[in-house]
């Protein structure tokens, strides 16, 4: 089941985040989850009462920015990200959607391309570890 996150989901979201993103990746802090649940669009995928993935969109004046997408290790490769993206495009209507992704995250890039995102430019040293990213636009 996919639904909007509530404040009571923040701790579980933070645990999921910490299991996927290392310190070097600068994953979201617990307080950031409270903030985004309140201010932005954060959808979660639940299975048997457990959060197995989430997607976070930031609302900008003229577009939505996909800020984070994260699926629990044991649920990856089972179509959860696709379900979250399908749900997002049904529930968030905007003329434009954007995201940034590390140039070596081929899994994610393939997924985004399936949803019509196109590489728009290379973002030099975009990430904290100086890695390049792609800006992708749909």
Which residues contact ligand COA (rule: CB under 6 A)? 20, 69-71, 76-82, 101, 105, 107-108, 110-111, 114
CA 108 to chain centre: 10
CB of 105 to ligand COA, least distance (A): 5
Which residue matches tokens 């081929």? 106
Rounded Cα distance between 35 and 109, Å, is 27
Nearer to ligand COA, 37 or 84 (CB): 84
Provide, rounded to whole angstroms, the least separation between the CB of residue 38 and ligand COA.
Answer: 22
């Amino acid at each position: 089941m996919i639904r909007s996150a509530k404040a009571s989901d923040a701790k579980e979201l933070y645990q999921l985040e910490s299991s996927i993103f290392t310190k070097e990746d600068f994953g979201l802090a617990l307080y950031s989850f409270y903030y985004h649940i309140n201010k932005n669009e954060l959808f979660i995928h639940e299975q048997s009462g457990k959060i197995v993935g989430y997607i976070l969109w930031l609302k900008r004046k003229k577009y939505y920015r996909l800020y984070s997408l994260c699926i629990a290790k044991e649920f990856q490769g089972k179509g959860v990200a696709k379900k979250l993206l399908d749900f997002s495009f049904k529930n968030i209507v905007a003329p434009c959607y954007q995201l940034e992704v590390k140039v070596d995250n081929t899994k994610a890039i393939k997924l985004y391309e399936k949803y019509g995102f196109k590489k728009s430019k290379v973002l030099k040293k975009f990430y904290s570890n100086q890695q390049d990213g792609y800006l992708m636009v749909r």
